[in-house]
Amino acid sequence: MRSSRFLSSLLLTLLCAFSAHSQTPVAEIREQLGGPTLFIDGRPHSAFSTMTYRPQLSDYQELADIGIDLFCFSTSSDHPFYPFAADAWIGPEEYDYSQLDERARQVLEASPEAWLLPRVNVAAPGWWLDLHPEEVCVYSDGSNLELSRDYVQDQRAPSMASRLWRDSVKENLARMIDHIEAQDYGKRVIGYHIASGITEEWMYWGFQSNQLADYSKPGIAAFRNWLREKYRTDTVLQDVWGEPSATFATAEVPNATWRNRMDHGTFLNPIQSMRVVDYNLFLSDMVADCISEFARAVKEKTNGTKVVGAFYGYLLEIAWHHHAIPPSGHLAIDKLLRDPSLDFFSSPSSYGARPPGTGFSIFMSLTESFRRHGKLWMDENDYRGFLAKDAKPQHGYVETLDETLALHWRELGDVLTHGAGMWWFNMWGGWYSDPRLLEQMETMVELGKENLELDKDSTAEVAVVVDPLSPAYLGAMETLHSIGLLQYKETWAKFGAPFDLL
C-alpha cells in the first residue's frame, strides 16, 4: 500500500514537472488538512470562482481585480439543451468552436493568468434527432416534446439510454478537447464541468414539466437489461413483480397510472408495485451511468490531468416537485461517490429559505458524504442581490446592498465551514458591479485563500443521515420527503449545533 502511494505521488510529481515545462496545467483534488482541496500544478487553490451565462469583458475585469482567478463559462461540445451557448456540432462532420474560442479568450483578455473551467452542455442537435428519431426520449403520453418552461420551447431530447447518443457525446467531447488543447488558451484550462438534463443539472427529461419518461426504444431496452442484471432469471422477476407473464424480453416501463399510484399512504407496496420501484432505481442508475461514462471519457482523453465534475444529488431540494424525488434521476449518489473519474459535484444553495434575517444557507445534497469520499463540493452561489433586476421572487431577490451583503456573508460561512469551493454566479451579468459589494467580495476571496491553511475536519455534533434509495419506494405524489426534508432543513439550520449531512 505504501509502495502504491509512493508511486502515485512520484507520478504526480513527474506530471507536474511536465506541466511546468509544457505549460499544460495538471489539476486534481487532493486531501489536505482533513478535506478535499483543488490543486493546480501542485499548488492548493480555494476553488473560489465565477460563472456567467452572459460573458462581458467589464464583468471579468472587475472580478479579476478583486482576486478571482478561476472562471467558468457556458459552452457545448455538441448542442446545449438550453440557449446559453451556441451549437458546436452544426452538421454531420461539421463543427464550429468559434464561440468557445471567443469566450475563453475574453476571460484571458481581462485576466491573462486566469484558469478556465468551462461548463460543457451535452444534448443532441435537431438535425441529429431528425436522422435518429428512434433515439428521442418519449413520454408516457406518447409525445416526444419537452414542454415549454424556463428558456425551453417544446423541444426534443435524446434518450439517455441511447448507445448511439452516448457514443456521439464521447466523440464530440474528445474532439472539443483536441481543439482546446491546440489553442493558445488550452494551457489555462484545468477541467470540465459536464452538464445535461433539466436545467443542466442532470434531472431527467420531463421532470419540471410533469412529464414521465422514458418510453423510447432505447429506454425500454435498457430497462430490460437492467432487470436481467438484477434478477437473473424470469422466474425471480415474475415472483418479485407478482406477474406470472413477466419476462426480460417483454417487460415494459410502467405506465403513468402505475407510476402515479400510492399503495399505503405515501408508500408503494413492493409486493404490488415493485415494477415502479425498479423503474425509479433504474432511471437514476441510467443518469449516473451517463455522468460516469462521459467523465471517464474526459479523464482518458486528458490523461487524468483535468478535474471533472457534475451537478447531482439534490435530495434535500427537489422534494418540493409535483412528482417529487422518485423520477428525478438523482437517487444513485452512492454510485457516483465511488467513481474515480469524478472530482467535484455541485448544486446551488437551497432556494427554500433565502431571505436575510429569517432564512439560512444550506446545500442541496449530502455534502459530508461527498467530502468523505474525496469529492470537492462546489457551491453555485446564485443569490439574487440588489443588482439582479431580472430575478424572480422565488429565487430570493433582495433590494438593498445591505441585504445583498448579508446573504453573501451568510453563504460564505456555509462554504468555509464545510470546506467547499464556490462560484459566484453572475448569471446575466452586472450582478456584482458595485464598488461597495466588490470590496466585500475581495475580502471573501482572501478568506477563501486563508481557509486553505485551516483544518477541515468536521466538528459536527449531529449527523443527519438520508437514505438516497428510499425515495424509490414512495409514490409519485408523496409528501413524506417534502415534510421530512424540506421542512426539517430549517430546524437543522437553526438549532444551534453543527451538523453533517450524510
Single pTM value for the model: 0.93
Q: What is the mean pLDDT of the chain?
A: 92
Determine how β-strand 27-32 pairs with β-strand 421-425: unpaired
Which range, of 12-16, 37-41, 163-167, averages the lowest pLDDT? 12-16
Is pLDDT of 303 > 90? yes
13 belongs to a structural domain: no
Q: How many domains does the chain have?
A: 1
Is pLDDT of 49 > 60? yes
Is pLDDT of 479 > 80? no
Q: How far is Cα 435 from Cα 25, in angstroms, rounded to an integer?
A: 33
Which whole number is the average pLDDT over 464-484? 80
DSSP category for residue 462: E
41 belongs to a structural domain: yes
Q: Would you state the pLDDT for residue 272?
A: 94
Is pLDDT of 268 > 60? yes
Q: Would you state the pLDDT for residue 112?
A: 98
User: Rounded to 5 degrees, what are φ and ψ at 73?
Assistant: -150, 160
Q: Would you state the pLDDT for residue 490?
A: 80
Buried b (16+ CB within 10 A) or exposed e, 303-314: ebbbbbbbbbbb
Are 382 and 348 a contacting pair, CB within 8 Å? yes
CATH code for the domain in which residue 130 is found: 3.20.20.80
Q: How far is Cα 172 from Cα 164, in angstroms, rounded to an integer?
A: 12
% of the chain residues with pLDDT over 90: 78
Q: Would you state the pLDDT for residue 21?
A: 39
Is pLDDT of 157 > 50? yes
225 belongs to a structural domain: no
**pLDDT tens string 189-200:** 999 999 999 999
User: Rounded to 5 degrees, what are φ and ψ at 501?
Assistant: -100, 120
Is pLDDT of 160 > 90? yes
270 belongs to a structural domain: no
Which whole number is the average pLDDT over 58-82? 98
Are 452 and 37 a contacting pair, CB within 8 Å? yes
Q: Would you state the pLDDT for residue 365?
A: 93
DSSP characters over 195-241 = EBSBTTBTBPTTTTTT--B--SHHHHHHHHHHHHHHH-SHHHHHHHH
Q: Which amino acid is at 364?
A: M
Q: In what order do the strands lie in the sheet with 43-45?
A: 27-32, 35-40, 43-45
Q: Would you state the pLDDT for residue 11?
A: 47
Highest mean pLDDT among 209-218, 262-271, 482-491: 209-218
122 belongs to a structural domain: yes
pLDDT band at 13 (very low <50, low <70, confident <90, very high): very low
Q: Would you state the pLDDT for residue 194?
A: 99
Question: Helix, strand, or coil here: 256?
Answer: helix
Which whole number is the average pLDDT over 118-146? 96
Which range, of 35-39, 112-116, 245-249, 461-465, averages the lowest pLDDT? 461-465
340 belongs to a structural domain: yes
pLDDT band at 450 (very low <50, low <70, confident <90, very high): very high
Is pLDDT of 106 > 90? yes
Q: Would you state the pLDDT for residue 297?
A: 99
436 belongs to a structural domain: yes
235 belongs to a structural domain: no
**pLDDT tens string 483-492:** 667 777 888 8
Q: Would you state the pLDDT for residue 19?
A: 42
pLDDT band at 392 (very low <50, low <70, confident <90, very high): confident
Is pLDDT of 76 > 50? yes
Q: Which of 217, 347, 214 is nearest to 287 (CA)?
A: 214
**Domain range holding 463?**
25-213+279-501
